[in-house]
Structure 1
């Protein structure tokens, strides 16, 4: 099915993806009104995109969950024995709490994004699971301290300002709810939404064994408190930004927040996070080519002179992105629910 796109999304496809990047769970009537297309056509286009693995909506626990003491985020580097990388990667992509698995260039073979309920669980998983997985030579764990921006804020920028205003203007007002303790049902809902961020309340109720009204209340509460983060993804070859560049940087501790705010202002940046490890800032950017990767680093140095880039890599194959499995070209071929509860027993 991917071949039908010919490597390029048309104008309507791009407008639809951009609209869902702004409002991932918006109804088709609202999306259609914003981009000037009837709801039936919009729904048909989206079905076509998802069948092809060209675009999808995912969900993950938002940074405030970790900030509230109910989780932690880590980036784990994995070195594999010669010839064992495919087996190791296959095993790790099946882990429900491993949100991302990337085969990368440079000084590590695989780069993982890992959710855990707390540091002891993460430690046990790294020590016992990774430590015993055949084919792994070494691992290095870097804890995320603050996530300054992440992929849900990245935009295709296919809509004009008036269309964006129509879409955001019709959005329901967000309640300023307090962060709360997650229940097993909340975790189950987050897991199901991670596979399909647009799943209806009825479908979620069927999958979680409860009523649609209960699901509606719980899902609305998760979003109102900012604890669930949905985002619309597009296969990178179709975005015109096919190269994923990963940078590790060093910043004076007192300047970290200010530097991070400057970094997040760059259009290409998908992730900017403070880390506790060899370096204290991690940046992921989507760029147009390998040449552009080097130009981006030059632009970043000019924009943020207080940042020293000390290591860099390119994602050769993002095998898993936010729970979704990708083929070598970057198209979605499946998903593994994100669920931190199975990391390790308490």
Structure 2
């Protein structure tokens, strides 16, 4: 990462606060962080302007019950990898695209579609025929025990978190599917670009009132369909190394993942998946030397776990719809449309 990046303790505390309450007004966060609201606004403008942090709309907890999540491993010629990654990044279903070092794959994708048919269509008709693709392996997430929405930076102390209160993100059961109208989809599209877009601006965009926007957003988040996520570049997280472990464990121990591996602070993603390797876990780490330590810790928590692949992230081209440069800074957006 660039030596010119300077991230202060206040920046770190602000990002952590926005992970918990992504759309909180600056007036709510100012007393907690001990500065004026205008100072927070300036800090955030700098972080977003430099691509160091951002807030965006993402699928909420009910998506795992109504939609389809898959991890797709793509093999290609080494010389075609960057060009292919850039091309795949333009596909809205491929919400995350990572160039990786692995014995079995050159690219790793997170793919979200509204249903299983959409996933088959994407893999079979859009991805596999692309020039340069030599092979595709697709595994489906059957349970998501933790993911990026729930991961925290760890810059606030327990007393600050207590004052901050619970997250704004949806926690609804989603038992009754919502019938999304044109206004809902317009809101989701705008918030996928910038999750902190003001209600007044959303009202102007949709030709409605701020009160109507507030009701619609409340409905979407309460249903669990919509959530908000504050994400960041490695210069902010201090965790430049990404590793994804693939492995197999007994069914009984897979059912205990949320009590074991999901509690580890550097675990960014943990899922039970289809296939012979039925566990997939992604960690963000400080250095490459930590990879073996985390594997050892994971196997200690899950005695039956046999790690079958260690997928090292070389570069993330796209994360949850946002295009990243070589240093992991946001440089653009291809909004996701999984709803």
Query: Residue 51 and residue 233 in structure 1: after superposition, are their counterparts in 2 closer, same or farther (change >3 A)?
Result: same
Deviation at 1:119, TM superposition (A): 1.0
Q: Secondary structure at the match of 1:193?
A: helix
Aligned 8 A contact 1:190 1:338 in 2: no
**Counterparts of 2:93 and 2:335 in 1: how far apart (Å)?**
8
In structure 1, list runs of 5 or more residues that go unmatched.
342-346
Counterpart of 1:250 (choices 248, 251, 260) is: 248
Deviation at 1:174, TM superposition (A): 7.7
Q: Secondary structure at the match of 1:84?
A: helix
1:261 and 2:284 equivalent? no
1:294 and 2:273 equivalent? no
CA RMSD of aligned residues (A): 2.2
Deviation at 1:104, TM superposition (A): 0.5
> Corresponding residue for 1:41?
39
> Corresponding residue for 1:111?
108
Q: How does 1:67-146 map to 2 (within 5 A)?
A: 67=65, 69=66, 71-106=67-102, 107-146=104-143
Query: Residue 210 and residue 267 in structure 1: after superposition, are their counterparts in 2 closer, same or farther (change >3 A)?
Result: same
Q: How does 1:220-235 map to 2 (within 5 A)?
A: 220-235=218-233
Count of aligned pairs: 336
Normalised TM-score (structure 1):
0.91
Q: Secondary structure at the match of 2:197?
A: coil
Aligned 8 A contact 2:72 2:139 in 1: yes
Larger CA deviation: 275-284 vs 315-324: 275-284
**Counterparts of 1:119 and 1:167 in 2: how far apart (Å)?**
38
Larger CA deviation: 172-181 vs 48-57: 172-181
Larger CA deviation: 132-141 vs 188-197: 188-197
**Counterparts of 1:153 and 1:174 in 2: how far apart (Å)?**
12
In structure 2, list runs of 5 or more residues that go unmatched.
none
> Corresponding residue for 1:271?
269
Query: Residue 332 and residue 231 in structure 1: after superposition, are their counterparts in 2 closer, same or farther (change >3 A)?
Result: same
Q: Secondary structure at the match of 1:83?
A: helix
Query: Residue 12 and residue 145 in structure 1: after superposition, are their counterparts in 2 closer, same or farther (change >3 A)?
Result: same
Normalised TM-score (structure 2):
0.92
Aligned 8 A contact 1:191 1:337 in 2: yes
